[in-house]
Chain A
Amino acid sequence: MLRFLIRRALGAAVIIVLLIALTYFAFFSLPTDPASLSCPKGCSPQLLAQIRENMHLNQPIVVQFWHYFSGLFVGQDFGNLGHCAAPCFGYSYNSQQFVWDRIAANYPATFTLAVGGAACFLSIGVGLGMISAWKQGSFWDKAASSISLVGQSTQIYFLGPLAMALFVVNLKWLVQPNYTPFTQDPWACFQGMILPWLVMSVIFWSNYTRQVRSLMLEQLSEDHIRAARAKGMSNSYVWWRYALRGAMAPIVTIFGIDLGAVFSGAIITEYTFGVHGLGYLAVQAVHQEDLYLELGVLIFSSVSILLFNIIVDAAYALLDPRVRLG
């Protein structure tokens, strides 16, 4: 297991280095002037020169890249803007802040959205799938399948405003979605995020419902289920310990991939509900052509996806004794 983790970590490191290099060169070798993009309106030639100097744009691109890359680990100096401590993702001129500080400021919102949303889509999706499999062919089965299908075909930017109009404006059951740090006020955090969590989970959960249903039905028809019942194991024991156990590995795989997606920033959900997370930051960066910010968000998201991929593979080995890592 340890060998596997080390190997995967090394592999991931190589991927990350390549990714940083590729995106960096793609961004900074374009025939645009990053300095003038970073310069606010009515920018004086002195300021432009200053920015150019700070971004090391007067030096060859390879040296520029080296500044950026080494900055990720040891930090770098931006002239009169001061020292940017590691991990330094550069300086966002538009907001006059280091990129890392902006990511760090927005990440808790993404994190909260991801944790709550994942909890919602996992529990609702798996729950509906279990009901479907349990009451196979019944009204509940059909209802769960239909809801899932509708859920999967819905768009967040459609469902989100609709839900807000209904629950916030008309029924007044919920407050306007907003992000309050959990550490500051857990209840306010829950109230403000419950709608984004649920709406975001809709597009994810249907996949789980269908998967869990078919996996459970497949498992329940397996010989070892019948053998377990022949041993005198009760229905519920067989259901939870044998069938669900067998259905778990594929579910965990999908869950890991989805986690990677939500933890790297849910752009549409964050924008729909005005939650200022990583996805929101990414959109802002693109709008403002803030290259360092774009690069920073991209690298950060990629790392979290890679991380979850490794976790999924490791979890798979823990869940299925037949899988050998190494």
Chain B
Amino acid sequence: MSTLTKSEAVDAPQAGNAFLSVRDLRVRFRTEDGIVNAVNNLTFDLEQGKTLGIVGESGSGKSVSNLAVMGLHNPRNTTIEGTVTLDGQELLTASQRELEKLRGNKMAMIFQDALAALSPYYTIGRQIAEPFMKHTGANKKEGRERAIEMLRRVGIPQPQTRVDDFPHQFSGGMRQRAMIAMALVCDPQLLIADEPTTALDVTVQAQIVDLLKDLQQESGTSIVFITHDLGVIREIADDVLVMYAGRAVERGTMREVLKTSQHPYGWGLLSSIPRINSSVDVPLEPIPGTPPSLLNPPTGCAFNPRCAYRELVDGDKCVTERPPLELANGHLSACHLTPAQKQSILTEQILPRLSS
């Protein structure tokens, strides 16, 4: 079953019965150069035991929106609006103390760069045991035993001795495993994985993805998986949310978004994946241009300066009017092209190119 209720209007602020429900999330940063609208009107749901993949370029608001869920933004320069409910509990209005009880316990996060995300000054074991001791009131000995158990669960050999190692004594893949152990030590119901495989080589990537899938099956954790690697998305995600310039531009099940994308940006992403069986003479097609500055995003559809299908839309609608996220050919997408246009472009131009 899809975790996304397709019929629901984007601006409907009613919180469903989903485990994690994000409604109209808006994140703004005050910087020296002005206000950055990092995330705008982001809405998604995630059910228990499911995985939502969030895809997008750097600076598209993937991480920012999830840091907002965790409450990890610096309140001094960040304004967050909207509603985020986790298992019925409102997060954005929760106090620091309440959030501290949830973080690492009910919701946990894995970061991209495990070397940077682990403190160099404490042993792996101590860093894994810390949240366990805090949230369960366990003593040092129990914490250490739990850390060993977790290291074993994530597949670190000789966990009894490795538990006393420092992060710099671990290899990259092992550090990422240790990070996962640290995040999962209290059996969280929500795991936010922020590009956990980006810094790793492909073999280790596959291992980490398998590990997360196994752990999810064991404990029924819901996962938000942030990445820009569509290959990884195909492996792990049930649903996919494509973000561009701080907004959701496409939302649907993994098959819908990867097989029948309804957005020029999604087509661009799909066309730029290298394929093992494609001819070496056919060059990869990158999306032209660069991601927009969120200080001063393009008017109308934020993708319009890079969009190859702009002329197909009547008048200058792409520049003046922002397309709403609405149902087109089975799932949600935000584009002014008519569903019929999208379908014909997809079947006549995009799919043949992908299968060539």
Contacts and interface: CB of A to CB of B under 8 A. Distances in A.
B131 A321 contact: no
B182 A320 contact: no
Nearest to B135: A232
A7 interface: no
B111 A233 contact: no
A231 B103 contact: yes
B162 interface: no
B72 A230 contact: yes
Contact of A222 (B103, B116, B130, B182): B116
A227 B166 contact: no
B188 to A, nearest CB: 10
B111 A226 contact: yes
Contact of A231 (B116, B166, B182): B182
Contact of B117 (A223, A235, A321): A223
Interface size class of chain A, counting residues whose CB lies under 8 Å from the partner chain: 20 to 34
Nearest to B67: A226
Contacts of A231: 103-104, 108, 130-131, 134, 182-183
Interface residues of B, number: 30
Interface string A155-166: 000000000000
Interface string A213-247: 00000000011101111111111000000100110
A229 to B, nearest CB: 6
Contacts of B168: 321-322
Nearest to A225: B119
A245 to B, nearest CB: 5
A222 B120 CA distance: 11
Given A223-B111, A223-B113, A321-B168, A232 B131 contact: yes
B270 interface: no
A321 B104 contact: no
B111 A227 contact: yes
A216 to B, nearest CB: 14
Contact of A242 (B72, B104, B119, B166): B119
Contacts of A229: 72, 103
A61 to B, nearest CB: 54
Contact of B105 (A227, A232, A246): A232
Contacts of A232: 100-105, 131, 134-135
Contacts of A233: 100, 104, 130-131, 134
Nearest to B179: A227
Contacts of B117: 223-224, 226-227
Nearest to B70: A230
A226 B103 CA distance: 11
Query: Which among A223, A224, A242, A320 has the greatest number of chain B C-beta atoms within 10 A?
Result: A224
Contact of B166 (A235, A319, A322): A322
Interface string A292-326: 00000000000000000000000000011110000
Contacts of A245: 119, 121-122
Given A231-B108, A231-B131, A320-B121, A223 B116 contact: yes
A139 to B, nearest CB: 15
Interface string B82-114: 000000000000001000111111001101010
Query: Which among B105, B109, B119, B122 has the greatest number of chain A C-beta atoms within 10 A?
Result: B119
B118 interface: yes
Given A230-B103, A232-B105, 14 more contacts: A223-B116, A224-B116, A224-B117, A226-B111, A227-B179, A230-B108, A231-B183, A232-B101, A232-B104, A233-B134, A242-B119, A319-B121, A321-B166, A322-B166
11 contacts: A222-B116, A224-B116, A224-B117, A226-B111, A230-B111, A231-B103, A231-B104, A233-B134, A242-B119, A245-B121, A320-B120
Interface of A: 222-224, 226-235, 242, 245-246, 319-322
Q: Which 6 A-B pairs have the closest CB atoms?
A: A232-B104, A231-B104, A223-B116, A232-B103, A227-B117, A231-B131
